[in-house]
Amino acid sequence: MDDESLSEVTRYLTRHFRRLSIETGHALAGSPQGFKLRGDVNGELYIADSFFNEYPAPRVFDALDLLRVADALRSAAGRRRVVVTASAVRSETYVPRQKRRSRE
């Protein structure tokens, strides 16, 4: 994923969610690009490489809109990971990692 595509993903997310903190790079090498979201929606968004292969940067925003990614994030409500491919959006059940408690 290039910087322009990343910018379009960020623009899409901030257009739909006014109060949102976005952290990128939560994916392992060879897997989809990951985004950790906090604010109006909480959870994880993964976008597969196939999506970016299918949609060049100028079409990323419209493709995310067409796939209704914002609606999927709202319905996931932090309990499900949202995964975007070139042709579909799906939700996967996951358990968010708990913060480590400090030993006293």
pTM: 0.80
99 occurs within a structural domain: no
Tokens matching residue 97 = 């990692």
Q: Which residues contact 16 (CB under 8 A, 6 or more apart)?
A: 70, 73
Residue recorded with tokens 């491919």: 85
104 occurs within a structural domain: no
User: pLDDT tens for residues 5-18?
Assistant: 999 999 999 999 99
13 occurs within a structural domain: yes
81 occurs within a structural domain: yes
Host domain of residue 59: 3-93
103 occurs within a structural domain: no
100 occurs within a structural domain: no
Q: Which residues contact 34 (CB under 8 A, 6 or more apart)?
A: 24, 25, 26, 27, 44, 45, 46
Q: Which amino acid, one-letter code, is at 26?
A: H
Q: Which residues contact 96 (CB under 8 A, 6 or more apart)?
A: 78
Tally of domains in the chain = 1
70 occurs within a structural domain: yes
User: pLDDT tens for residues 33-88?
Assistant: 889 899 999 889 999 989 999 999 999 999 999 999 999 999 988 788 899 999 99
